[in-house]
Structure 1
Amino acid sequence: MNNQLIRVGTIYIPVLEPAMSAVWYKDMLGARLNYLDKDKAIMDLADISLFLVKSPGESSNFRDVNGAERFILTFEVDGQDALEAMHSDFIERGIKVGEIENRGHAGRNFIFYDFDGNKFDVWSELSKKYKKRMAAESL
């Protein structure tokens, strides 16, 4: 197959007020604002464009078949120490976070919520392909 999807470029996240949410993403997560109007903010974070789109109180969260609230996105950090440091930093910043969890696979995870209640995940394992790419880019 010649035509293959090679990366996620943009994720759309519903928010109540794009300008206020953009400030939160900048201050709390270190995102960079690229564009802002009354309907959306475009942020760069973790090699992805996040479109914070004005929405009437919706969230990106959903329920699975067992009724558990799920997230649409998992961010990766480089190892357990980085995960624990980020978890502590998020708590100090006042970000709503869950406990660090062992979900029965490699690494550990925790969840956090943005300004608008959108739920995200953080995992302590970088993919092998990403590690290889980053090593090649640093040469």
Structure 2
Amino acid sequence: MNNKLLRVGTSYIPVSNVGLSSEWYINKLGAELSYKDEDKAILNLANQSLFLVRAKDGQSSNFYDIHGEERFSMTFEVNGLVALENIHKDFLEKEIKVGEIENRGHAGRNFVFHDLDGNKFDVWSELSPKFLDLV
């Protein structure tokens, strides 16, 4: 028996309005709805489940690092720079709040985007080796 963690299966994202947020994730990011009630929605996106959980006002998944910079808690991956540029353009056309494509001094490029509640997410142009065989 292999006693190690194999993958992240579910991430929880605080939202103020489950209905509006689930529609945003479906229409803007292409998530698929599995379940929804007034307090939560379960979406399938990027090979995992996202639980959108109704939270108190002002909550987000963001945090501040030691230098006071607000950070995201999740990075999505795409397969290469062209794919990153294409999804960045697509997000702009869908009027998603996005940052510029950045060179952060490591392999690949990134950009940040926000959902309706200000939750920040990162997109990286480098696909994990385990997923290269799937594309």
TM-score normalized by the length of structure 1: 0.93
Normalized per residue, the structure richer in helix is 1
The amino acid across from 1:33 in the alignment is: L
Q: Give the root-mean-square deviation of aligned CA atoms.
A: 1.1
Deviations 1:101-137 (A, max 9, x none): 00111100000001111000000010112214x26xx
Measure how far apart 1:2 and its partner are.
2.8
Q: Structure 1 CA distance, aligned partners of 2:82 and 2:65?
A: 30
Q: Structure 2 CA distance, aligned partners of 1:44 and 1:116?
A: 19
Deviations 1:83-112 (A, max 9, x none): 001101111111000000001111000000
The amino acid across from 2:68 in the alignment is: G
Partner of 1:107: 108
Q: Structure 2 CA distance, aligned partners of 1:50 and 1:2?
A: 26
The amino acid across from 2:2 in the alignment is: N
Identity across the alignment (%): 63
Partner of 1:40: 40
Which contiguous aligned blocks of 4+ residues in structure 1 show a shift greater than 6 angstroms? none
| Alignment coverage as a number of residue pairs | 134
Structure 1 unpaired stretches of 5+: none
TM-score normalized by the length of structure 2: 0.96
